[in-house]
Amino acid sequence: MTSKNITIIILIALVLGTLIYAQSIELNLPGNNQGYTPKQPIEFSHRLHSGDLQLDCLYCHTGADKSRHAGVPSASICMNCHNFITATWDATKLEEEQAKKEKRNVQTVISAELQKLYEAVGFNTEKMQYDKNLQTKPIEWVRVHNIPAFVYFDHRRHVNADVACQQCHGAIETMEKVSQNSDLSMGWCVNCHRDVNSGKITDLAGKNASTNCAGCHY
């Protein structure tokens, strides 16, 4: 049997499998989950970090141009700044003014949200240093985007071809909470690939994106 035949058989199996699966759990295909905005364990704001502070996306999502997955940063990246930034500028300023008025020493203000970060990494905020005696626990960020396992998607290919993060994820730098911008359906992928190949997306003119079934399905 040729590999093309095998691919077709696998695809037929996929259609049947998906239909049965979709019916059994009433999965809404395609276009499911667009607008999905889960609550996260720490209220991390892209609007603040990427918008106001203008941090580069790749500073935190270090895999996006090197591997299949963009990845979510480990807490140690947050600690590059938050080992000394313990609250917002406004809250720190307020405490300074208050202390002056009351003629007392300024106290370190620890934001409630950042306290969760310190607990995750075992950082003692009284000594302002890591404490080996404190337990650590990973931050369990809730995944927003998800495509099925039978679809092959690779960040590196897109990012290195100059497809902007925003073309797929929307204006993340304006979001207080990350929301799924596109429907992540097959039509969404294929339409962009077609528009790329026909030159309709002028900033991606000259690129070639495959519309072969086997390009996206194993």
Q: Which of residues 83-112 bind ligand HEC (CB under 6 A)?
A: 85, 87-89, 111
Q: Judged by CB under 6 A, which of 10, 34, 72, 156 binds ligand HEC? A: 72
Tokens at residue 57, please? Answer: 């996306």
As given in the structure block, the two tokens for residue 73 are 């940063």
Which position among 10, 11, 62, 95 is part of the footprint of ligand HEC (CB under 6 A)? 11
Is 193 near ligand HEC (CB under 6 A)?
A: yes
Q: Which is nearer to ligand HEC, 103 or 122 (CB)?
A: 122
Q: Contact with ligand HEC (CB under 6 A): which of 118, 121, 123, 159?
A: 159
Using the contact rule CB under 6 A, the part of the chain among 97-105, 125-133, 187-195 near ligand HEC is: 187-195
For residue 121, state whether it binds ligand HEC (rule: CB under 6 A): no
Burial environment of residue 197 by CB neighbours within 10 A (0 to 12, 13 to 18, 19 or more): middle
Q: Which of 43, 95, 119, 131 binds ligand HEC (CB under 6 A)?
A: 43
Give yes or no for a contact between 178 and 166, defined as CB atoms under 8 angstroms apart: no
Cα distances (Å, whole numbers) of residue 125 to 84, 109, 192? 10, 10, 49
Identified binder of ligand HEC from the candidate list 37, 80, 108, 136, rule CB under 6 A = 80
CB of 156: closest distance to ligand HEC in angstroms? 9
112-121 helix and 75-82 helix, angle to the nearest 10 degrees: 120
Q: Is 10 in the site for ligand HEC (CB under 6 A)?
A: no
| Minimum distance, C-beta of residue 107 to ligand HEC, in the bound complex (Å) | 15
Give the span between the Cα atoms of 37 and 145, in whole angstroms: 10
Task: Name the minimum Å distance from CB 218 to ligand HEC.
Answer: 11
Q: Which of 61, 118, 121, 123 binds ligand HEC (CB under 6 A)?
A: 61
